[in-house]
Structure 1
Amino acid sequence: MHILFLGSIIDKIENHEREVLAIDTSIHLTADRLPLVRDIGWNRIDSVYTHPDRILDYDVFLYVINGRMQVIEEGKEYIVREKEHLFLKKGLHHWGLPETLPGTAWYWVHFNTVVDERVAYKEHLPLPELGYFYPKHYEYRFMMPKNGSSSLHQTMESRLRTILDNYHKVRDHWMTRSSLQIYQLFLDLHQAALKHEETSETGGKADTIAGRVMTYLVQHADRDFDSRELSSQLQLNYSYLSSTYKRLTGQSIIEVHTKLRMNKAMDMMRSTSMNISEISERLGYKNPYYFSRVFKKVLGEAPSSYLRHFYKS
């Protein structure tokens, strides 16, 4: 009987742990919407601190400048140490035990993420292969690093102090200015986290391969793509290169190469007096009609139509 009772308790604990692991606590931002600041502040405690037990309808960013803070979110404990941050997601239960040390000081930002539910946001950042941007290019989202530190944290305190000082200066569009500054800070934090992942032992090899492929494509954007030449230069199997690149960037090697060629075509249209046939030949397209079809497929308009956007003597 006791064994059955103990087994039932263990099953309940394991089920609870699985439920906690299944909860998505990550914070995502999008490229087409600002995180809207609700309020910003700074705090320092002189006695043992207990984090309030609550469920909020906004997201939270914490940055500890002295001491350490303990926070539990949906059963998972975080110890945020000096020069570390933590994001807390709205709608989730978080609290703390009386374990935050006296002398602990931190900055906090309360904000709301705004998402257009009609948009199917991409999960990959766009590659820097195009010289123009339509609204659809901004339809991607990115996940913020939940907790930890990075190279950016060395200047985090001074940046947050400046933002907080500006926040208290009431002026035109002050709330929008604060949201812009926080968004810039979050973008830099995301970039710093990406660089850390690229230099880590686990992810560095694959990310380096993606970078080498991109370098090759940029250097060979004025001619037809040759998979055998790429494979030979990188000394790796093309199937492996192709699948790795697609997984990391969300685009195929052929797609990116084609976009790079169209980017070169646009540069020539803007900066030279060459006609469409000459540009087509310069980029390795033997048939200008085929070049025009590819251009329209990538950009949504014919090259003759695109040329009319520019003033030329």
Structure 2
Amino acid sequence: MHSINLNSYSLPLVCDIGYIQDKYGIYRHPDRKMEKIHVFIFVIEGSIHVFEDDTEYRINAGSYLFLRKNISHWGGELYMPGTKWYYIHFYDSPQNEVKEDEEYKYYPRSSMIYEDTYSTKISLPKQGTVYNSDYIITKLKNIVSLYENPHPLRPLQLSLLTYQFFIELYSSHLEEQQESKKHYIVNQMIKLLRTSESNKLTGEEIASTLGMNYAYLCTLFKKETGRSVKRYQNELLIEKAIEMFKKNAGNVSEVSNALGFSNPFYFSRVFKGITGVPPTTYINENYRYQ
């Protein structure tokens, strides 16, 4: 299975997009190898039979498939009579080939958006079925309409709309995965850490509340979120600290003490490790309100 990855900070660049129908079922998917172009197909009615590097796919109404660049793909059976579909051909962003970065983590985070959030990749689902076909068709119609518009900013607008569309498919795919047991456990841990009245739960408290081995919980949490439990708890504490600074609810020493840090120096080190700047710099550079 050849997946298509995008950097979380760059856009897929649209080459071509359109709507096609085969009323009589006399054609089949073309035999080709597109060196620089990825392909997205969404079937409205009928069925498309296609192979990619000897892997067989059948795309039925309400389903989609991504085909990777520089991999041979070809049609199998003729299109089913009356088959209708949309397609998007797109390039990777120039000089932004996806590296072996960490996958974007689909879990609740603190309200702060940290820089490393963007040093991730998005693995688009190879294929899937949507449960809101009318909505998807409307989105694709809008993208096609923009493609047919000669506006000078059309390429940039097309890439932005396409990225938003792919993100919606990606989000739906991840939401389906959240039903698994391991995702349930991690979400329970996050809920516990975020709602606890204690500034920082101990490993024993976490294990006792969830009734599971703490070492296992730590390993699972790190694998699924990309964060250690300690790091995540520190992020939540720094989020509280930032809210206190915005409200002028104390200086560095007072906030450090209120949040249970051993001393202001350790608090400042943790704050800089999370935000990239010391708390004094953050206070001077950001708005505050009463």
TM over 0.5: yes
Partner of 1:9: none
Q: Tell me how far apart the structure 2 counterparts of residues 118 and 111 of structure 1 sit (CA, whole Å).
A: 14
What SS does structure 1 have at the residue aligned with 2:41?
strand
What's the CA shift for 1:119? 6.0
What's the CA shift for 1:235? 1.6
What SS does structure 1 have at the residue aligned with 2:40?
strand
Q: Tell me how far apart the structure 1 counterparts of residues 98 and 140 of structure 2 sit (CA, whole Å).
A: 33
What's the CA shift for 1:127? 4.8
What's the CA shift for 1:126? 6.7
Closer, same or farther: CA 84–312 of 1 in aligned 2, 3 Å: closer
Q: Which amino acid aligns with 2:247?
A: S
Partner of 1:21: none
Q: Tell me how far apart the structure 2 counterparts of residues 51 and 81 of structure 1 sit (CA, whole Å).
A: 14
Q: Tell me how far apart the structure 1 counterparts of residues 197 and 65 of structure 2 sit (CA, whole Å).
A: 42
109-118 or 27-36, which deviates more: 109-118
Note if 1:249 corresponds to 2:259: no
1:269 to 225, 242, 245: 245
Q: Is the 1:129–1:263 contact (alpha carbons within 8 Å) kept by the matching residues of 2?
A: no
Q: Which amino acid aligns with 2:33?
A: I
Q: Which amino acid aligns with 2:181?
A: K
Q: Tell me how far apart the structure 2 counterparts of residues 164 and 207 of structure 1 sit (CA, whole Å).
A: 37
Q: Tell me how far apart the structure 1 counterparts of residues 127 and 277 of structure 2 sit (CA, whole Å).
A: 44
What's the CA shift for 1:172? 3.7
Q: Tell me how far apart the structure 1 counterparts of residues 98 and 40 of structure 2 sit (CA, whole Å).
A: 27
Q: Which amino acid aligns with 1:149?
A: T
What's the CA shift for 1:205? 1.1
1:61-140 alignment runs, 5 A limit: 61-114=40-93, 116=96, 121-125=101-105, 127-140=107-120
Note if 1:33 corresponds to 2:10: yes
Partner of 2:190: 214
Partner of 1:50: 28
Q: Which amino acid aligns with 1:295?
A: F
Q: Is the 1:49–1:102 contact (alpha carbons within 8 Å) kept by the matching residues of 2?
A: no
Q: Tell me how far apart the structure 2 counterparts of residues 126 and 45 of structure 1 sit (CA, whole Å).
A: 39
Q: Which amino acid aligns with 1:29?
A: L
Q: Is the 1:221–1:283 contact (alpha carbons within 8 Å) kept by the matching residues of 2?
A: no
What's the CA shift for 1:170? 2.1
Q: Tell me how far apart the structure 1 counterparts of residues 160 and 97 of structure 2 sit (CA, whole Å).
A: 22
Note if 1:143 corresponds to 2:123: yes
Q: Is the 2:98–2:121 contact (alpha carbons within 8 Å) kept by the matching residues of 1?
A: no
82-91 or 259-268, which deviates more: 259-268
Q: Is the 2:8–2:104 contact (alpha carbons within 8 Å) kept by the matching residues of 1?
A: no
Q: Is the 1:125–1:142 contact (alpha carbons within 8 Å) kept by the matching residues of 2?
A: no
Closer, same or farther: CA 96–30 of 1 in aligned 2, 3 Å: same
Once the two structures are superposed, what CA deviation does each residue of 1:96-121 show, in whole Å capped at 9, x if it has no partner?
A: 13432121010000001226359652
What's the CA shift for 1:271? 2.4
Q: Is the 1:68–1:82 contact (alpha carbons within 8 Å) kept by the matching residues of 2?
A: yes
Q: Is the 2:6–2:123 contact (alpha carbons within 8 Å) kept by the matching residues of 1?
A: yes
**What percent identity do the matched residue pairs reach?**
33
TM-score (norm 2): 0.91
Closer, same or farther: CA 135–277 of 1 in aligned 2, 3 Å: closer
Partner of 2:201: 225
Once the two structures are superposed, what CA deviation does each residue of 1:64-106 show, in whole Å capped at 9, x if it has no partner?
A: 0010001111111111000000100000000113432121010
What SS does structure 1 have at the residue aligned with 2:178?
helix
Bigger Rg, which one: 1
What SS does structure 2 have at the residue aligned with 1:192?
helix
